[in-house]
Amino acid sequence: MKQFAKQMLRSPSGLVGLVILVVAIAVAVFGPLIFPNSPWRMVQRPFLPPFALSSVPLGTDALGRDVFAGIIFGARVSLLVGLVSTLAALAVGIPLGAVAGYFGGRTDDALMRFTEFFQTIPSFALAIVLVAILQPSIYSIVASIAIVSWPPVARLVRGEVLSLRSREYVQAAIVTGQTHGWIIWREILPNALSPVIVLASLMVATAILLESSLSFLGLGDPNLISWGYMVGAGRTVIRQAWWITVFPGLAILLSVLGLNLVGEGLNDALNPRLARDGR
Amino acid sequence: MPAEPAVEIRDLRIALPPGGERAHAVDGVSFDLLAGEIVCVVGESGSGKSMCAHALMGLLPASVTTETGEIIFEGNNLLALDENGWRDLRGRRIAMVFQEPMTALNPLMRIGEQMMEMFEAHGLGSPAERREKALALAREVGLPDPAGIVRAYPHQLSGGQRQRAMIAMALALEPAVLVADEPTTALDVTTQAQILKLIRDLQRRRNMAVMFITHDFGVVADIADRVVVLRHGQVVEQGSAQEVLTAPRQAYTRALLAAVPSMTPPPRAPLADRGKAVDVIGLDKTYVTSGGWFRPDRTVRAANEVNFSIHKGETLGLVGESGSGKSSVARLVMRLIEADRGTVRIGDIDLTQLQGKSLRDQRRRIQMIFQDPFASLNPRRKVGQIISDGPIAHGADPKLARQRARDLLGLVGLDGGAIERYPHEFSGGQRQRIGIARALALDPEILVADEAVSALDVSVQAQVLDLLEDLKARLGLSMLFITHDLRVAAQICDRIAVMRRGSIVELQPTAALFAAPQHPYTSELLAAVPGQPKQLAVPA
């Protein structure tokens, strides 16, 4: 574990990503406690530019709401949606891929055709349709993001399991009479996990983008402010009031960048053989 | 000694990255290579023998540094060369043959093109001349149908043919020095014998200096003029092959030589009157690879009407070359793969008929020891868990299973405290002991050992063989012992079955098989075992 942390911190990009991510999480967790004002409340006159008043450092939007408060509260929604939908996608993709890879044959064929069915539909279009049908709410958004993002997980896990299944230690487990479930859970999955962890960190970033895109189109949860919603709401007045879209946009950029850097760092730390060496 | 040395290696010291097991991969090694002479560098894994070869080719990995020493070749110190200097030298003056011909050849290039590349890289000859040279080389290394084979891709060649092609490439520019890094380790014995002869002939004809890296004393006896014995990066002993093999001065060399199993089987009591532990009747398995629309399917008969039985307390050897189907038979017997036809009976039950839970319950009666001690233990589970998983799956109390794992580790000669450690903390031989403990944890009646000692160094190999022999006698086990190494088979087996292309061609008591082989293929195998004319075994 110590070794792993050292490896992770050795790459400067991973370190930068980690710092960004920690800041974002801290904002999401503690921000609303420090700024208890609702982001929906009108606090000043509309279109107040940033850095003009210390009480509203990033200005106000078209309805006089505090942009800074919006970003702080939006962090919670964005990160939560990213995290929960990724966990949900993993919960679907890992078992499906593991079963397909382990049993092979017809089971594999059936499960992979099912997976391909989801992969052939453009994911964003499917997400829009799902949210539209289910009514926009935080739950329907998480569910639709999870539904469109599990297929790559299933395919990745299947590939890993396929190659691990023929390892001698898995055969040894079969020979000693262990059950299929136990073998998958104890012998195969722990060894298949590192690429999945890397993929998951990148999926959180994609999920944040997806949620922002949905909110931008007005399909966000109407009761929760999110960065995508703010960008969408400020879009019509971008020429008069750039700050309404730029600051939440920057927040999205930074957190996605942070996650990608962490993913890269994780990749280098978990697959040291694939890491680019000095030459 | 007549001529002056072609290559002088003086006090070579190569440092490993800090934090490793030892500070130096190669520690003060000095020896000469003479024109027209084969120097065998022998040592066990980790002795630094490959590092020496790579230093001579300028192919050291970036993580190591050369601290002191020089390699003098044609008046220059090679270690002072830059990348350009090396490029000019490699292939032209010093050439290398690698261990694994499949991975050393580019799978997407024709054999002839790869040979021609040698000339191209050094800007020699016109395309037509290169083509002619490639053809001549293919002929010289004894490739069949040279005109056809230069147009073939590596996967269309057999392992031996690929190694011949590699040798042809190495010889293309008539180098003064040939470095061969375990060139026959990946080959079958009969092919190995041919390749050794080829290297010997070519070396004589061209008066090359050859540095031959190997771990196999049989090979050394067949090919070496001089021998350098390495251990932990240091030269233990060097001298003429005659001296080192028949009158070794150092205890380590003597121990290594003594560990090489003898070709003379020890006397064994016949066991035919005992009951049968396993009965294998008419086992058939055919692999079919679909050839697509335009080509016929490729079928490989891995097992063809395989019949044998193992008596209680007996060790039956299954020997054969790679692709003979011996490992497939092991896996068929274990039901790791399903047979097309045939029966495996253990006592009164038919293992091939069982399914699901009843199969899992009966599996405990027959257990397996795997070939690769590094791949057969799950790297993310502790040794204690690895051993006790099986009994716990069969309903043992976890606490008792752990206690038993401790006892088993003691039984196989490891410390009981090992149960808290992970597999990567152990050496190859120790891991193989853990694998044996895992197999014994279920109190099996039969052990199936699939090349169980093939990946181990000779000295470790001898210890593990002794352990298996001892356990078998103490616990009354029967054993199916699969190996390609006839020396090992001679030492441990009561009877031996020889397999070829999925069929058993001969099954006889060990002593009878070695004394009077019935099938011509068996005689061919026996004759190809390296190191025979000179008896190796030296009283320790």
Q: How much is the pLDDT for A1?
A: 58
Identify the pLDDT of residue B228. Answer: 93
Q: What is the pLDDT along chain B (540 residues), one digit of tens a residue?
A: 455 788 899 889 988 887 767 788 888 899 999 888 999 999 888 888 888 888 888 888 888 888 888 898 888 888 888 888 888 888 888 999 988 877 888 889 999 999 998 888 888 888 899 999 899 999 888 888 888 888 888 888 888 888 889 999 988 888 999 999 988 887 888 888 888 999 998 898 888 999 999 988 888 988 899 999 999 888 999 999 888 888 899 999 998 888 888 888 888 877 767 788 899 998 999 888 776 677 777 777 888 889 999 998 899 999 988 878 888 899 999 998 889 989 999 988 888 888 888 888 889 899 999 988 888 999 888 999 999 999 998 888 999 999 999 999 988 888 888 888 888 888 888 899 999 999 999 999 999 999 888 888 888 888 889 999 988 888 889 999 999 888 899 989 999 999 998 899 999 999 989 988 999 999 989 988 887 754 444 443
Which among B377, B389, B408, B448 is the top mutation candidate for probing chain A, defined by the most A β-carbons within 10 Å of its own β-carbon? B389
Q: H/E element holding A129?
A: helix A123-134
**B133-155 burial by CB neighbour count: b if 16+ within 10 A, else e?**
bbbebbebbbbeebeebbebebe
Beta-strand runs (E) in B175-233: 177-181, 209-214, 226-231
What digits encode the pLDDT tens for the residues A62-96? 888 888 888 888 898 889 999 999 999 999 999 99
How many Cα atoms sit within 13 Å of B55 on the Cβ side? 34
The model's confidence at residue A275, banded by pLDDT at 50, 70 and 90, is: very low
Position A232 scores a pLDDT of 87
Check CB contact under 8 Å for B360 and A177: yes
The C-alpha atoms of residue B77 and residue B57 are separated, in whole angstroms, by 12
Chain B contact for A184, CB < 8 A? Answer: no
pLDDT at position B217 is 87
Tens digit of each residue's pLDDT (9 = 90 or more) over A128-148: 999 999 999 999 999 999 999
CB contact under 8 A, A173 and B389: yes
Task: Record the tokens describing residue B414, joined without a space.
Answer: 């490891």
Give per-residue pLDDT as tens, A225-250: 889 888 888 888 888 889 999 999 99
Measured CA to CA, the distance from residue A268 to residue B83 in angstroms comes to 29
Between B41 and A267, the more confident residue is B41
Q: Is the dihedral of CA B532, B32, B59, B65 positive or negative?
A: positive
Burial B161-198 (b: 16+ CB within 10 A, else e): bbbbbbbbbbbbbebbbbbbbbbbebbbbebbbbbbeb
Residues facing B97 on adjacent strands: B180
| Helix or strand (DSSP H, E) at A252 | helix A243-270
What is residue B396's predicted lDDT score, i.e. its pLDDT? 87
Q: What is the CA radius of gyration of chain B?
A: 25
Q: Round to whole Å and give the CA distance between B93 and A146.
A: 61
Cβ partners under 8 Å of residue B29, min gap 6: B9, B11, B12, B13, B48, B52, B69, B230, B233, B234, B235
Closest Cα in chain A, distance from residue B10 (Å): 29
Residues of B in contact with A167 (CB under 8 A): 375
Instruction: Using pLDDT thresholds of 50, 70 and 90, give the confidence band for residue A3.
Output: low
| Residues on chain B bordering chain A, Cβ-to-Cβ distance under 8 angstroms | 62, 334, 336, 360-361, 363-364, 367-368, 370-372, 375-381, 386, 389-390, 393-394, 435, 438, 441-442
Helices A243-270 and A67-103 pack at an angle, to 10 degrees, of 30
pLDDT confidence of residue A139: 92
b or e along B247-286 (b: 16 or more beta carbons within 10 Å of the residue's beta carbon)?
ebeeebbbebbbbbbebebeeeeebeeeeebbebbebbbe
Q: What is the phi-psi region of residue B514: left when phi exceeds 0, alpha when psi lies from -120 to 50, beta otherwise?
A: alpha
- Rounded (10°) angle between helices A138-165 and A67-103: 30
Nearest to B35 by CA among B63, B62, B8: B8
CB contact residues (below 8 A), chain A span 217-276, against chain B:
none
Question: How many angstroms separate the Cα of B259 from the Cα of each of B219, B243, B255, B423?
Answer: 15, 18, 6, 26
Query: Which ipTM did the prediction report?
Result: 0.79
Per-residue confidence (pLDDT) for residue A276, from 0 to 100: 43
In eight-state DSSP terms, residue B17 is: P
Contact residues on chain B for A279, CB-CB shorter than 8 A: 62
Which amino acid, one-letter code, is at B306?
V
A168: nearest CB among B370, B386, B441? B370
Cβ neighbours of B373 (radius 10 Å) = 26
Q: From CA B7, how far away is CA A152, in angstroms rounded?
A: 56
- A90 to A31, A116, A264: CA distances (angstroms): 28, 17, 19
Residue B327's nearest CA partner among B351, B303, B310 is B303
The set of residues, in sequence order, having a beta carbon less than 8 Å from that of A252 and lying 6+ positions away, is: A78, A208, A209, A212, A227, A228, A231
pLDDT for the residue numbered A273: 53
| Amino acid A88: pLDDT | 95
Q: What is the pTM of this model?
A: 0.81
CB A248 within 8 A of CB B33: no
The pLDDT score that the predictor gives to residue A113 is: 94
Q: Would you state the structure tokens that stand for residue B87, as one six-digit string?
A: 């490029």
Name the A residues in 55-84 with CB < 8 Å from any B CB: none
Contact A176 B367 (CB under 8 A): yes
Sorting pLDDT into bands at 50, 70 and 90, what band is A9? low
- Residue A157 in contact with residue A97, Cβ under 8 Å? yes
Mean pLDDT of chain A: 87
Q: What is the DSSP letter of A63?
A: T
CB contact under 8 A, B364 and A174: no
Take residue B164 and report the two structure tokens written for it. Answer: 């011949």
